[in-house]
């Protein structure tokens, strides 16, 4: 029998919220991100849930892997700096993703389930 994963805790800090959003936007799991920066999934979960106080070295590694800036992760900038080179469509999608992060958890999960369903249908129809 498979062990059920615990529910994602809602971030309590700007850093946690932005780290979670950047990781999801990149399509990475906590484990994948942890491996990429040479850390553990438990540490990534801690940073996302409570924000913690990551060292400057960890923030730099996270920003490089996630393709964002330390300012974006720390809430110093609005997150658009790293998106200037991207298309208008990509910026619009990122803006909507940030709006999604402000919804109650139940609503976020519903939207993500719908998105998962749509992408599965698209993947199977393109084969």
CATH code (residue 73): 1.10.260.40
Q: Compute the distance between CA of residue 97 and CA of residue 80 in angstroms, rounded to an integer.
A: 13
> Which residues, at least 6 apart from 17, have a Cβ–Cβ distance to it below 8 Å?
11, 101
Task: Look at the chain and count its residues.
Answer: 127
As for how many domains the chain has, the answer is 1
Q: Which of 18, 4, 25 lies closest to 93 in space, CA to CA?
A: 25
**Nearest to residue 20, comparing CAs of 57, 86, 68?**
68
Quick check: is 71 in a domain?
Answer: yes
The whole-number pLDDT of residue 64 equals 93
Residue 50, domain extent:
14-125
Q: Write down the pLDDT at residue 39.
A: 95
Check residue 7 and give its pLDDT. 60
Q: What angle do CA 58, 62, 68 make, to 5 degrees?
A: 135
The whole-number pLDDT of residue 2 equals 45
Mean pLDDT by 10 residues, the chain (127 residues): 55 83 88 95 90 87 91 75 58 77 85 86 70
120 within some domain: yes
pTM, full prediction? 0.58
Residues 25, 97: Cα–Cα separation, whole Å: 8
Residue 6 placed within a domain: no
Residue 8 lies in a domain: no
* pLDDT given for residue 35 in this prediction: 96
Q: Is residue 108 part of a domain?
A: yes
pLDDT at 86: 57
pLDDT at residue 1, as a whole number: 44
Task: Answer whether residue 46 is part of any domain.
Answer: yes
């Amino acid at each position: 029998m498979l062990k059920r994963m615990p529910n994602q805790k809602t971030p309590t800090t700007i850093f946690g919220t932005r780290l979670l959003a950047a990781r999801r936007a990149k399509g990475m799991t906590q484990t994948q991100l942890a491996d990429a920066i040479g850390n553990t999934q438990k540490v990534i979960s801690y940073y996302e849930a409570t924000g913690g106080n990551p060292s400057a070295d960890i923030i730099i590694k996270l920003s490089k892997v996630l393709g964002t800036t330390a300012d974006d992760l720390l809430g110093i900038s609005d997150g658009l700096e790293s998106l200037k080179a991207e298309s208008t469509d990509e910026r619009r999608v990122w803006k909507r993703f940030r709006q999604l992060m402000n919804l109650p958890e139940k609503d976020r999960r519903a939207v993500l389930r719908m998105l998962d369903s749509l992408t599965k249908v698209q993947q199977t129809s393109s084969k």
